[in-house]
Amino acid sequence: MKKFAFLALCLPLLSAPVLAAEEEEVAEITANLDYIYQMHDDGYIMCPTQTAVGLVATNDRASEIYLFKDGKMTTLFSGPDCGRYTTLNADRTKMGIKLIDNSGYQAPAILDLTTGKVEQLSPYSEQCGMVSFAADGTYAYSDIYDLVVVRNGEKQVYDLGHYVNIANLSQDGKRIAYASYEGYPIIMDLTTGKEKYLSDEDDMFINLWSPDCNKV
């Protein structure tokens, strides 16, 4: 009887802090869920990037591009998917974006972060790729199956044979990294047009250069 009485006295003492901890945990989970639901309804900021003019970011729907500067947030550009897969030029004053019209047609463009002006690089088409930049101001983008490289105002077109959404220029402007239809990483020499496959692993669609252009 003494053992049972001892247990009967100890159980309430043990259960009190356990119940209190459980209540705190439930309250914390509820608060977190409320916050998550609010984020779902109101949206949230993502992909912050430091630029020459301030911090630039988009929202969870990638439908707007914001500038955060001097404690203020301003909208630089609005459009379907405009904030997805953006790129920056060498001095981080211009951003490569994609324009999408109401019918779903696409056009590559450059957003000037200092003025907010947008330069459309080609007419709308069924598919276009993101803009990429070299250090000397050369830029490139894909238009359906073609790769377009603009150097000193002159266009050079390469037939890729398939649609490429992300084709990245090396900083020296001599090569471009992209992927095959299956996602095999490729480097093209822009002087000769020759392609080199880097791996037999597929599903690698986003290929980025190291700053020294020696690695992808």
Identify each DSSP E strand in 15-105 by its residue range. Answer: 45-50, 55-59, 64-69, 72-78, 87-88, 94-100
**Beta-bridge partners for 55:** 50, 68
Per-residue pLDDT of the chain (216 residues; tens, 9 = 90+): 444 444 444 445 445 555 555 677 767 766 665 655 565 566 788 999 999 999 999 999 999 999 999 999 999 999 999 999 999 999 999 999 999 999 999 999 999 999 999 999 999 999 999 999 999 999 999 999 999 999 999 999 999 999 999 899 999 999 999 988 898 898 999 999 999 988 888 887 778 888 888 888
Query: Would you state the pLDDT for residue 200?
Result: 85
Which of 163, 102, 89, 159 is CA-nearest to residue 128?
Answer: 163
Query: Would you state the pLDDT for residue 4?
Result: 41
Q: Who contacts 8 (Cβ-Cβ below 8 Å, separation ≥6)?
A: none
Asked whether the beta carbons of 180 and 186 are under 8 A apart, the reply is: yes
Q: Give the Cα-Cα-Cα angle 214, 182, 167 (nearest 5 degrees).
A: 45
Asked whether the beta carbons of 128 and 107 are under 8 A apart, the reply is: yes
Query: Would you state the pLDDT for residue 24?
Result: 73
Number of helices (H) and strands (E) in the chain: give both, helices first. 1, 16
